[in-house]
Each structure stands twice: as C-alpha cells, then as structure tokens.
Amino acid sequence: GAGVSQSPSNKVTEKGKDVELRCDPISGHTALYWYRQSLGQGLEFLIYFQGNSAPDKSGLPSDRFSAERTGGSVSTLTIQRTQQEDSAVYLCASSLGAVLGTEAFFGQGTRLTVV
C-alpha cells in the first residue's frame, strides 16, 4: 500500500501568516510523529500521537505550534504567525505501535520557507 504522504511538498509563506501541514499516515498505524529538520541539521522531535492517548507535545518549540490528529488517522501541524526561523523541512512518520521493535516510516516532508 501507499507510504506516509505529506502535503504540500513545498510551501512558501509570508512572515506572520499561518500555515497548515498535512500528514496521511499508513493505514492502521496507531503512532504518528512530527519532526522538523533545519538546513544541514539533525531531526528535532515536535509531537507524538499514540492511539487515543493524550499527545506528547514536549517538543513543540512555542505556543505558535499545534497539531491534531482526527479519527486516529490524518494529522495536521499548524504554525501560527510564522517566523523566518520556522523555515525547515517538516517530516511526519508513522508506525504500527510504539512498542517493541516497530519500524517507523517517514514521509518525504514538507519544505516550508518563510519569507
């Protein structure tokens, strides 16, 4: 079946505008993760959803960032009042569960550029 799908693949926005990034995980995967990667840097954890449990938001850098996951499937990451430092590739991953040796599958990412 299809892998993790992210949209849009590229987004250019003006500073101060809000953006929404979408992630369609693999069907049946209960765990969903958001990361971001600035140019030339490593992956920074943002937020994690596991089933119906409360999400782990410990990685969100500020209250301008929020995410939701509707119906245990599609997730949307929202960045309000974007700043230039928000420019990065935003990566979504999903896995069957968060235990044992489960493999996480990553999407291709959304490249966000704030001008």
Partner 1 sequence: DAKTTQPNSMESNEEEPVHLPCNHSTISGTDYIHWYRQLPSQGPEYVIHGLTSNVNNRMASLAIAEDRKSSTLILHRATLRDAAVYYCILRDQNNAGNMLTFGGGTRLMVKP
Given the rule CB under 8 A, which residues bind partner 1?
4, 31, 33, 35, 42-43, 45, 48, 50, 53, 56, 59, 91, 93, 98-101, 103-109
Nearer Cβ to partner 1, position 83 or 113?
Answer: 113
User: Would you call 68 helix, strand, or coil by DSSP?
Assistant: strand
Nearer Cβ to partner 1, position 13 or 106?
Answer: 106
Query: Using an 8 Å Cβ cutoff, are 79 and 65 in contact?
Result: yes
Nearer Cβ to partner 1, position 20 or 56?
Answer: 56
Least Å from the CB of residue 84 to partner 1: 21
Q: What is the CA radius of gyration of the chain?
A: 13
The conformational region for residue 58 under phi > 0 = left, psi -120 to 50 = alpha, else beta, is alpha
Query: Using an 8 Å Cβ cutoff, are 21 and 90 in contact?
Result: yes
Least Å from the CB of residue 64 to partner 1: 21
Least Å from the CB of residue 13 to partner 1: 21
> What is the rounded (10 degree) CA torsion for 49, 53, 59, 61?
100
Nearer Cβ to partner 1, position 35 or 65?
Answer: 35
